């Protein structure tokens, strides 16, 4: 597996990471726990060193899963987790708001260390910007944790350019994580240029459009009742049908490269900047191996130009979150 470096502090990770959320939360019933542990360890065997989780996934179950799976091979992996949500006091699995108060940040760090069975969090992201807490206070709290040896690197998720600048001035930001793919290109407006200027790495989540860009999801695809895509505007039957044109475009290019649509989608991301590290998620070994194959797909300048032209002619239908989710997470 090829390696890439996130940020000027030199955090080296595999060119592709693994998003772990779907193994236990949000995309239907949790996978069999032992099978998911085996999958996580297989990812390491295949050269993946970068694993992404968060306390809110479950909540807590995903961190516990990642901790149990990776504890025996801790010295081979980089583990990223996140803080910043307020949990439902009634025990519901979905957060009820954001909380990046320094007190909460430090409490989350202590709890995450125990669940992950590690002595330091390699990369600690603010999961969503908290409008009630100055980003300087957030960065300061993480700086304290770094000084204490409990955190190694600071990250932000879904933050805008000015927030990134303010945070970075207080405590160097190693990576920013946001949704980015051929059907979610918002970071191109301001964020990517800001990261390039400041020397910050970028970690696209949902790089395969929550599964859509694999080509496996059609307009008549149904999801489990616990799958949050049921309420996602891009996964209505009408939007799925309209957006199939994007998958058809990827499929044509994939055929010419003896690759799959998912591999082309990931290869396109990898070609955007040398400091971009996508974190596709999966619960299946076959998909994991398919995704890893994207690292070897070579897209020429002409290929990238053709993809850009074809993509620019397509209109993506549906917002990436519903209104309730947007309000909850402050997007």
- Phi-psi label, residue 10: left if phi above 0, alpha if psi -120 to 50, beta otherwise: left
Helix (H, G, I), strand (E, B) or coil at 274: coil
Extract the runs of DSSP E, i.e. beta strands, from the chain. 3-6, 11-14, 18-19, 50-52, 78-83, 85-86, 97-98, 121-126, 151-157, 173-179, 201-205
257-49-9-198 Cα dihedral, nearest 10 degrees: 40
Greatest Cα pair distance in the chain: 54
For strands 18-19 and 85-86, give the pairing: unpaired
Name the residue among 256, 209, 254, 258 with its Cα closest to residue 235.
209
Q: Is 205 a catalytic residue?
A: no
Residue 320 tokens read as 């990436």
Please report, in angstroms and rounded to a whole number, the separation of the first and last CA atoms in the chain: 34
Q: Which of 66, 166, 81, 170 is nearest to 123 (CA)?
A: 81
Which among 57, 125, 180, 321 is annotated as catalytic?
A: 57
What lies within 8 Å, CB to CB, of 184 at 6+ separation is 206, 209, 316, 320
Catalytic sites, residue numbers: 57
């Amino acid at each position: 597996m090829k390696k890439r470096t996130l940020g000027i502090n030199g955090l080296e990770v595999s060119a592709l990471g693994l998003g772990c959320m779907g193994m236990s939360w949000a995309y239907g019933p949790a996978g069999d726990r032992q099978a998911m542990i085996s999958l996580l360890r297989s990812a390491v065997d295949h050269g993946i060193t970068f694993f992404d989780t968060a306390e809110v996934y479950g909540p807590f179950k995903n961190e516990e899963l990642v901790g149990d799976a990776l504890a025996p091979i801790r010295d081979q992996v980089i583990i990223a987790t996140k803080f910043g949500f307020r949990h439902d006091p009634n025990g519901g699995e979905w957060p009820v708001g954001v909380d990046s108060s320094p007190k909460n940040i430090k409490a989350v760090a202590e709890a995450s260390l125990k669940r992950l069975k590690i002595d330091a969090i390699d990369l600690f992201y603010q999961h969503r910007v908290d409008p009630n807490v100055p980003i300087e206070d957030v960065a300061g709290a993480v700086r304290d944790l770094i000084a204490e040896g409990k955190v190694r690197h600071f990250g932000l998720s879904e933050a805008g350019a000015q927030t990134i600048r303010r945070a970075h001035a207080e405590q160097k930001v190693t990576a920013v994580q946001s949704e980015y793919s051929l059907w979610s290109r918002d970071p191109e407006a301001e964020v990517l240029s800001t990261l390039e200027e400041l020397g910050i790495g970028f970690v696209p989540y949902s790089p395969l459009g929550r599964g859509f860009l694999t080509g496996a999801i059609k307009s008549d695809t149904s999801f489990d009742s616990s799958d949050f895509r049921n309420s996602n505007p891009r996964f209505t039957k009408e939007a799925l049908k309209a957006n199939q044109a994007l998958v058809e475009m990827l499929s044509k290019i994939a055929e010419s490269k003896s690759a799959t649509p998912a591999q082309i989608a990931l290869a396109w991301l990898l070609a955007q900047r040398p400091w971009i590290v996508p974190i596709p998620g999966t619960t299946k070994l076959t998909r994991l191996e398919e995704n890893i194959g994207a690292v070897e797909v070579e897209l020429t300048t002409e290929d990238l130009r053709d993809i850009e032209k074809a993509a620019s002619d397509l209109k993506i239908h549906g917002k990436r979150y519903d209104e309730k989710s947007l309000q909850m997470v402050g997007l």
